[in-house]
Structure formats: structure tokens, C-alpha cells
């Protein structure tokens, strides 16, 4: 880091970016999947809820589960950052510890969002989960907009955007995995576009035909859509290049930049006509890349000594 941003602050900003994005994307995936299940009330709800839990990496547990159980675990549980409430609580806690780095508007957004969650959850019990999930999506968009509008493009902003980018790649891969042949209650391709906020951009680009090959290519390979995996990989690679410009004349020494750049190059030269056949392998590679990149970033930037603790002898 060129200006010596403290590792603790860098790590906190990286994870704020990830937590807010996780809350946003989990809300999107839940909204799509629950909508699909509610459209087919005669289907196997238990199997659908288990598939949804597996996609989001949360053990479904023993016994039969229903939509209420899924919402409790994946949306309203503030005890784990895997759930929406837990992720937003973790983001607020992180924001409070770096208030001197982020803008007042960003902190107020995190704080107000957290304090409003209980009211939104109670409203969702009367009006349906969409009320809660829409609120989360709107607040995540507001936070991202405030970060882009009020933070200097220094190291702090790049760590925040890097965290957001890694989480967005991972969650987009999870969202697309809903379309795997073995997935139960698989939503149609147009619903995946809506869950990604891509439906209007897609229609302007390709018209109203939700052809699977075109939808998959739009979400993975489109260079102009800001939530496409290729666009986000490029953004993450740019952040890493700014954080540590590589002076080497050949190759890259940055262990975090290497897997992201390698996958970005692979996607750029992927034949869109054969994308669906390669989709399972690509989605697995995306999730592995997110894990390797996060580990490499932590090893390189987040190594810091814990505060010295005085111990009383005797």
C-alpha cells in the first residue's frame, strides 16, 4: 500500500463492501426463489427450501423446513453474517470502527438501515417477504451510490470496491447455479435477469427474447453491464493494480491478481455459443477464484499485530 493505510482499516473496508453486497444479493436470490415457490404452491416446499439453503451455503439442518424457516435463517437472523440481517449488522459494526475514513452519509446509511430492519421485518410478516427484501436492495444501492459519490478514490475506496466485487462474483455464480439441471424450482432465465437488475439492460441489448444462451452470456460476458461477471472481474483487477502496481516486465507477482486476471482472460475469450455447455465448470471456477483471491488479499494486506495486552503477574 503506497500511503500506508492501516491493515485493520483496509480489512474492515474490504468486508463492509462484501457484507453490503452479500445482503443485497441474498435479498435478490431469496426474492426470485421464493416468488417461484409461491407460484407453485403444490410443489415440494421442503426440497425447494433445501436447494435454496445449499445455494447460499447455509446447512438446512434436520427435519422439514418451510419458507418461514428459510426466511428466519437467511434473512432475519442477525447472529450470522450469512443472513441478511447478520451481514448488515456486521457492516454497521465495521462502519462504526472506521467512521474517520468513510463519509458521514455512508455511516448514517448503515446505521439507519440497521435500526429500520426490525420494523421492515414486522411489515413483512403482514405483507410478505418482498417488503423486507426490497428495502434491503434499495438500502444497499443507496450505500454503494454514497460510497461512489462521497469517497476519494484512495486506497480505502479501492478496498471497499474490491470487497464488493469479490462478493458480487461469488453471488452471481450462486444465482446462476439456480439454472443447473439438478436444481429444484429452477427459476426461468427472465427471473434471473430481474434478480440481477439486468432485465431492462438485457431487453435494450437483445430485445425481449430470454434465450438461455444470450441471458447467460449477458450475465457472464457482457463488457458494458456493471453487474456482469466479466465487468466485475475487470474492476477487481483494476483495484488490485492500483493498490500494488506491479513493476515486473513479465508476468505478475501479485497472488490475488493472478487468479482474477486468469479467469477474466478466460471469460473474455470464451465462445458464447458454447457457454451453456461450459457453465457448470465456469461457475465452480468462479467460486474457487473468489476464495483464492480473498485468501491472497488477506495474506498480503491484512497481516497486522494485535494490540499489546498487559498481563498482571502473580
Tens-digit pLDDT profile for residues 285-297: 999 999 999 999 9
Distances in Å between the alpha carbon of 312 and those of 304, 305, 306?
24, 21, 18
**Mean pLDDT estimate for the chain:** 88
Confidence band, pLDDT 50/70/90 cuts, at residue 312: very low
Q: What is the pTM of this model?
A: 0.90
Domain annotation covers residue 273: yes
**Domain-located, residue 125:** yes
Tens digit of pLDDT for each residue in 230-242?
Answer: 999 999 999 999 9
Q: What is the pLDDT of residue 237?
A: 96
**Average pLDDT value for residue range 30-42:** 79
> If we measure between CA atoms, which residue out of 36, 111, 33 comes closest to residue 74?
33
- Count of structural domains within the chain: 1
SS (H, E, C) the chain: CCCCCCHHHHHHHHHHHHHHHHHHHHHHHHHHHHHHHHHCCCCCHHHHHHHHHHHCCCCCCCCCCCHHHHHHHHHHCCCCCCCHHHHHHHHHHHHHHCCCCCCHHHHHHHHHHHHHHHHHHHHHHHHCHHHHHHHHHHHHHHHHHHHHHHCCCCHHHHHHHHHHHHHHHHHHHHHHHHHCCCCCCCCCHHHHHHHCCCHHHHHHHHCCCCCHHHHHHHHHHCCCCCCCHHHHHHHHHHHHHHHCCCCCCCCCCCCCHHHHHHHHHHHHCCCHHHHHHHHHHHHHHHHHHHHHHHHHHHHHHCCCCCCCCCCCCC
pLDDT tens readout for residues 235-291: 999 999 999 887 777 777 788 899 999 999 999 999 999 999 999 899 999 999 999
User: What number is the average pLDDT over the span 126-141?
Assistant: 95
Contact 178, 280 (CB under 8 A): no
Task: Report pLDDT for 185.
Answer: 59
Residue 206's Cβ-side half-sphere holds a number of Cα atoms within 13 Å equal to 19
Whether 172 shows a pLDDT value over 50: the answer reads: yes
Alpha-carbon gap, residue 210 to 219, rounded angstroms: 12
Q: What is the pLDDT of residue 32?
A: 83
- Asked if the structure places residue 309 within a domain, the reply is no
Per-residue pLDDT for 181 more than 70? no
In a domain, residue 220? The reply is yes
Read off the pLDDT of each residue in 142-151 and give the average, rounded to a whole number.
96
Write the burial class of residue 213 (CB in 10 Å: 0-12 exposed, 13-18 middle, 19+ buried).
middle
In this predicted structure, what is the pLDDT of residue 4?
55
Which of 1-10, 163-172, 219-228 is predicted least confidently? 1-10
User: What does the pLDDT average to over 28-39?
Assistant: 83
CA 32 vs CA 29, 75, 272: distances in Å: 5, 14, 25
Determine the structural domain holding residue 241 and report its residue range. Answer: 3-302
Whether pLDDT at 61 is above 80: no
For 70-93, letters b (16+ CB in 10 Å) and e give bbebbbbbbeebbbbbbbbbbbbe
Q: Does residue 312 lie in a domain region?
A: no
pLDDT of residue 33: 82
Give the phi and the psi of residue 34 in degrees, each rounded to 5.
Answer: -65, -35
pLDDT exceeds 90 at position 146? yes
Mean pLDDT along residues 184-192: 73
Amino acid at each position: 500500500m503506497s500511503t500506508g493505510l492501516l491493515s485493520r482499516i483496509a480489512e474492515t473496508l474490504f468486508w463492509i463492501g462484501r457484507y453490503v453486497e452479500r445482503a443485497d444479493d441474498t435479498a435478490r436470490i431469496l426474492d426470485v426463489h421464493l416468488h417461484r415457490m409461491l407460484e407453485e404452491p403444490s410443489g415440494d416446499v421442503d426440497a425447494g427450501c433445501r436447494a435454496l439453503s445449499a445455494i447460499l451455503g447455509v446447512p438446512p439442518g434436520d427435519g422439514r423446513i418451510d419458507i418461514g424457516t428459510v426466511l428466519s435463517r437467511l434473512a432475519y437472523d442477525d447472529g450470522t453474517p450469512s443472513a441478511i440481517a447478520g451481514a448488515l449488522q456486521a457492516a454497521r459494526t465495521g462502519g462504526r470502527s472506521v467512521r474517520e475514513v468513510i463519509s458521514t452519509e455512508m455511516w448514517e446509511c448503515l446505521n439507519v438501515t440497521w435500526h429500520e430492519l426490525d420494523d421492515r421485518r414486522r411489515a413483512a410478516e403482514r405483507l410478505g417477504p418482498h417488503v423486507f427484501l426490497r428495502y434491503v436492495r434499495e438500502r444497499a444501492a443507496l450505500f454503494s451510490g454514497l460510497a461512489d459519490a462521497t469517497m476519494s478514490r484512495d486506497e480505502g475506496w479501492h478496498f471497499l470496491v474490491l470487497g464488493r466485487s469479490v462478493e458480487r462474483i461469488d453471488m452471481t455464480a450462486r444465482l446462476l447455479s439456480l439454472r443447473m439441471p439438478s436444481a429444484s424450482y429452477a427459476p426461468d432465465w427472465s427471473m434471473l435477469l430481474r434478480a440481477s437488475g439486468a432485465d431492462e439492460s438485457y431487453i435494450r441489448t437483445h430485445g425481449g427474447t430470454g434465450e438461455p444462451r444470450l441471458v447467460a452470456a449477458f450475465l457472464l460476458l457482457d463488457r458494458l453491464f456493471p453487474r456482469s461477471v466479466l465487468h466485475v472481474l475487470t474492476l477487481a483487477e483494476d483495484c488490485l493494480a492500483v493498490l500494488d502496481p506491479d513493476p515486473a516486465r513479465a508476468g505478475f507477482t501479485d497472488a490475488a491478481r493472478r487468479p482474477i486476471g486468469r479467469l477474466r482472460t478466460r471469460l473474455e475469450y470464451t465462445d458464447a455459443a458454447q457457454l451453456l455447455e461450459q457453465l457448470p465448470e465456469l461457475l465452480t471456477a468462479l467460486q474457487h477464484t473468489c476464495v483464492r483471491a480473498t485468501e491472497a488479499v488477506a495474506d498480503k494486506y491484512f497481516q497486522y499485530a494485535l494490540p499489546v495486552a498487559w498481563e498482571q503477574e502473580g
